[in-house]
């Protein structure tokens, strides 16, 4: 698998079945704090409604996606298939998002999602505040201006 083979484009309706599977499987595998019976395949549709969705492909296989609420530059979802972890997919999706919607980007990272938190911090995100709605989370911000020059 060549990291340089990552291509990113706007999601097509034909991609949605695969995106639903990635969304479902990744949550089943990693969201230990969520009741597994409450995770449904169709959650993808309600979770991304009205958002810009970009897909990442490696060798023409969907490796992950990001969904963004464009007017707020808010990343609502970033999911990478377990088959493509540590291949640069998440970083590529964030970089492309910055180019498409601009900076700064923001997102909420559930405190219990330690792997995601470590990933975001390693990519230059900063914690803006801690909050609790349904569950404790960090509001994070990304404004690496160098990314837009690449």
CA angle 66, 34, 106 (to 5 degrees): 35
pTM for the full predicted model: 0.89
Read off the tokens for 109.
């990272």
Mean per-residue pLDDT for 24-51?
Answer: 83
Strands, sheet with 52-58, edge to edge from the N-terminal-most edge strand: 6-10, 52-58, 61-69, 74-80, 105-110, 136-142, 126-132
Classify the C-alpha dihedral 117-123-128-134 as positive or negative: negative
Q: What is the pLDDT of residue 147?
A: 54
More confident residue, 33 or 105: 105
Determine the Cα–Cα distance for residues 93 and 53; give it in Å rounded to an integer.
10
Question: What is the average per-residue pLDDT within 17-27?
Answer: 92
Tell me the domains of the chain and their CATH numbers. Answer: 3-149 (3.40.630.30)
pLDDT in tens, 93-134: 999 999 999 999 999 999 988 999 999 999 999 999 999 888
> 68-85: string of b/e by CB count within 10 Å (b at 16+)?
beeeebbbbbbbbbeebe
Return the pLDDT at 4.
63
Check residue 65 and give left, alpha or beta (phi > 0: left; psi -120 to 50: alpha): beta
């Amino acid at each position: 698998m060549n990291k340089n083979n990552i291509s990113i484009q706007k999601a097509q309706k034909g991609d949605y079945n695969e995106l639903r599977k990635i969304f479902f499987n990744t949550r089943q595998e990693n969201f230990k704090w969520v009741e597994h019976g409450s995770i449904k395949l169709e959650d993808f549709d309600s979770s991304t409604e009205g958002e810009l969705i970009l897909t990442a492909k490696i060798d023409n296989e969907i490796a992950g996606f990001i969904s963004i609420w464009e007017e707020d530059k808010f990343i609502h979802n970033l999911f990478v298939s377990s088959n493509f972890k540590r291949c640069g997919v998440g970083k590529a999706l964030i970089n492309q998002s910055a180019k498409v919607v601009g900076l700064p980007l923001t997102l909420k990272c559930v405190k219990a999602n330690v792997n995601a938190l470590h990933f975001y911090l390693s990519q230059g995100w900063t914690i803006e505040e801690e909050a609790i709605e349904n569950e404790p989370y960090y509001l994070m911000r990304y404004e690496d201006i160098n990314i837009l020059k690449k």
